[in-house]
Structure 1
């Protein structure tokens, strides 16, 4: 008898495909989603809007994965919203991942204490319903897992 207790899907504000089937399955089956890439390869930290470099400028795979203009627009809007509410974009991005009803645990990483501090702050950040909804509106919700969109 095999039981799956934990899975590791990619999940972040601009890569939301896990919302279609994976996170609902986790919620219904008592599986813990431990999500990687909550900062979208650094896109959701605001650093690329500032002209800094990183994975998206140095690694072709990340550049392709996060090269969509709408993702960069969402990242810029996230940064503006973070400044409006007085926090770091990374804090909001990680708190958004953790706020999903399935109870994900974001995987946090950084090369320096300064890089990881905003992500760690997200674990204590209270993301109310109104702010969560505003963040959700920054990027499209994935379509349902069916080719019968007329039934959705």
Structure 2
């Protein structure tokens, strides 16, 4: 496993980060708590040190699963969690942090992130100065070690940075989806901000396991994913056929090829969830893969065709 510096902090994060969205169960189907606990453990055993969750994932369920899974391992791990877009007033930020500290059974959160900008999904508009001010207070008290933001565009990121130091950005970013990251990556590199790419497998599309006619179960958020629909999906299937020879040449699965493309980038880590221990262990292989420049460039070209086929906006029809 390769490790990267987290922003301008003294902390290091694993290039493969375990993602806790699925562990919260909400917006997913067929998720088992015991399997999630085993997946967390398998990731840790394979060299993953960084675990990302959020209060929004099952109203804290994901945070509590992380605690159960990694009890006794606090000194070995970096915990990243998020405050919801509904809790960005100063008092609510502080309450949310205290709640997450209890869920995580810890006295400090290593990376505390704003999950979505204020105003998202009809939430209350809150000045970034107020939210960042609360985060800086918590940081001064030692309750959080670093501040991050998620789903911010460049102007929103710049506004947050004008108030205080931001050490990470978590955008939706993969070979097949670049919309959210294209306008922020250069700013992050120039300002020492680590990029934690979520949905790095385009919610499973880059595994190559989904064919024409697949129907997601009711309650599965992927039913709203625009990459699985119409001509964009056909474009993705063609792209997967082009990626398979590159994966075979490097002795990799499509999963690890896609993840390796992300972590080959200087300041980028991949946040990837898993349904069970075997999947978690497989995902970690990408943390120690080196692809040559020609393969990386060809993958970039192939993937961008899919991303460019999408209209502006989120990966989902939300």
**TM class, shorter-length:** 0.7 to 0.9
- The answer to whether the 8 Å contact 2:216/2:223 transfers is no
**Relative to structure 2, which stretch is displaced further, 116-125 or 134-143?**
134-143
Which one has a larger percent helix, Structure 1 or Structure 2? 1
Q: Which residue in the other structure is 2:276 paired with? A: 112
RMSD: 2.6
- The answer to whether the 8 Å contact 1:38/1:107 transfers is yes
Unaligned runs of at least 5 residues, structure 2 = 1-162, 309-318
Determine which of 103, 113, 134 is the counterpart of 2:298. Answer: 134
Q: Which residue in the other structure is 1:45 paired with? A: 207
Which 4+ runs in 1 deviate beyond 3 A?
49-55
Q: Does 1:34 align with 2:196?
A: yes
**Cα-to-partner distance string for 1:4-53 (whole Å, 9 max, x where unaligned):** 11110011001022452211111011111111011001000111149877
Q: How many residues of Structure 1 are paired with residues of Structure 2 in the alignment? A: 139
Q: Does 1:77 align with 2:242?
A: yes
Q: Which residue in the other structure is 1:146 paired with? A: none
Unaligned runs of at least 5 residues, structure 1 = 144-152
> TM-score, length-normalised on structure 1?
0.78
**Relative to structure 2, which stretch is displaced further, 82-91 or 119-128?**
82-91
- 1:113 deviation in Å? 2.1
Return the alpha-carbon distance in structure 1 between the equivalents of residues 216 and 244 of structure 2. Answer: 17
Return the alpha-carbon distance in structure 1 between the equivalents of residues 237 and 216 of structure 2. Answer: 14
Return the alpha-carbon distance in structure 2 between the equivalents of residues 92 and 52 of structure 1. Answer: 23
Q: Which residue in the other structure is 1:90 paired with? A: 255
The answer to which structure, 1 or 2, has the higher relative contact order (CA under 8 A, 6+ apart) is 1
Return the alpha-carbon distance in structure 1 between the equivalents of residues 285 and 189 of structure 2. Answer: 25
- 1:96 deviation in Å? 0.5
Return the alpha-carbon distance in structure 2 between the equivalents of residues 85 and 50 of structure 1. Answer: 27
- 1:78 deviation in Å? 2.0
**Cα-to-partner distance string for 1:66-102 (whole Å, 9 max, x where unaligned):** 421222321232234312332100001001011224x
Judging changes above 3 Å, is the alpha-carbon distance between structure 1 residues 13 and 125 closer, same or farther for their aligned structure 2 residues?
Answer: same
